[in-house]
Amino acid sequence: MPGIVVIGTQWGDEGKGRIVDYLASRADMVVRYQGGNNAGHTVEVNDIRFKLHLIPSGILHPGKICVIGNGMVIDPIALVEEIRYLEGYGIDVKSRLKISDRAHLIMPYHKLLDEVIEEHKGELQLGTTRRGIGPAYVDKAERIGIRVCDLLEPKYFEEKVEQNLKMKNEIIQKVYGKKGFEKGPIIESYLKAAEQIKDMVCDTTSIIYEFSKNDKKILYEGAQGTLLDVDLGTYPYVTSSHPIAGGVCIGAGIGPTLIDSVVGVVKAYTTRVGKGPFPTELLDKTGDIIREKGYEYGTTTGRPRRCGWLDVVMLRYAVKVNGLSYVAITKLDTLGGLEKVKICIGYKYKGKTITDFPASLNVLSECEPIYEELPGWEEGISDIKRIEELPENLIKYIYKIEELTGVKVAFISIGPKREQGFEIVKLF
């Protein structure tokens, strides 16, 4: 029952879509287990750059079953738009996509609340995508959420919307001074979307279980990254779900015995979107070069990402909390042309050296990185076809990451295209 989890080891944007796309060619099923359309994967196929937000990256491989798991929050209107977007490229979606009937819905009032709450925080804004993700998860925890199965029962769905609007409109109008919602337009637009997706809705936990028991290859696709986990990330600058490997069991509805290995995707440097401390951030020309060469702009928001050197203190933390079996390194081509590259191997904090990633953001904000410097490698490596032809200094960089983390590198990427990478350990 081969089950492989692919997760991000940093603050997201590590290039997970690239790795998932590669492994999906051998998988029978690809499962997304958390988050919503606040996240995104960019995958380049035949010079077309696909931007996916809800549908697993495996959809780009013909014949693969793709699952939107119960741990996700779904904007059904955005989902319909994404299905049409893919169908516009001739991709068969509807016969292969399975949507959990237990997944929660993002409602219009969630998106408005996301926006007004962020604005109300002023300088304390978290930098959310304002897609309604957090408020949808709040309702889920408060047990007033509306699920996909509710959407398929029009009368019950209408009752739940009406109940929730009584509460939400009170908050929207009296606390934030905004205009509330009428139930009619919500009911109409959401039931229209339901017609488009109803044939794809099912008990996905049963399908995943049967695939596992029949020795089918299943790939679990995470969104965002370890440091954005609501429990184990750089709280409060986190998402509202569990991007870590442990989130798979809850978000896909499976037991831990169905997972065989966990692959952590590591960008060859570190990036972050939004606020919060970032010890290795480069506020200089080198940071600008990395941003432009790596096209470090958000898939979902288009926001420029903050860039810095690889942080192994963070990476070792990700190894521990995810139980990583292997790592996959992406964006090695972006660092090409730099005379020197640096790796953060520890922090200086109030005169002491620390090697464990701190929980307190106050502590993290005062940490100074301790660097190990390595020689850089030349540009133009993206066209290399044989791993033996890679620059010696790049190979040394990879070995150094293995040495510092204690985890074997299974895959390296030297460009966004499917052929621009090398598999070192066969995973499927």
d(CA 92, CA 417): 21
Rounded-to-integer distance, Cα 265 and Cα 18, Å: 10
Q: Is 13 a catalytic residue?
A: yes
| Contact by Cβ (8 Å): 278, 315 | no
Q: Which two tokens stand for residue 222?
A: 């995470």
41 is catalytic: yes
Taking the C-alpha atoms of residue 428 and residue 417, their distance in angstroms, rounded to an integer, is 20
**Which candidate, 264, 277, 261, 279, places its Cα nearest to that of 226?**
264
* CB distance 372 to 338 below 8 Å: no
Q: First-to-last CA distance in the chain?
A: 11
Could you tell me if 164 and 107 are in contact, meaning their C-beta atoms sit under 8 angstroms apart?
yes
User: Are 104 and 133 contacting, i.e. CB atoms less than 8 angstroms apart?
Assistant: no
Say if residue 154 is preceded by a cis peptide, omega within 30 of 0.
no
Euclidean distance between CA atoms 294 and 18, whole angstroms: 14
CA dist 167 to 119, 162, 173, 350, Å?
Answer: 21, 9, 10, 48
Long-range CB contacts (within 8 A, 24+) of 345-348: 345/312, 345/313, 345/370, 345/371, 345/372, 345/404, 346/313, 346/370, 347/279, 347/313
Please state, in angstroms and rounded to a whole number, the distance separating the CA atoms of residues 339 and 140: 50
CA 45, CA 90: separation in Å to the nearest integer? 13
Q: Which residue out of 13, 139, 150, 333 is catalytically annotated?
A: 13
Q: Name, in order, each residue with C-beta under 8 angstroms of 140's C-beta and a sequence gap of 6 or more.
A: 73, 104
Q: Write down the catalytic residue from 21, 28, 41, 110.
A: 41
CA distance 267 to 334: 10
| CB-side neighbour CA atoms (13 Å) of 327 | 28
DSSP characters over 43-76: EEETTEEEEESSS-GGGGSTT-EEEE-TTBEE-H
Secondary structure class of 386 (helix, strand, coil): coil
What is the set of active-site residues?
A: 13, 41
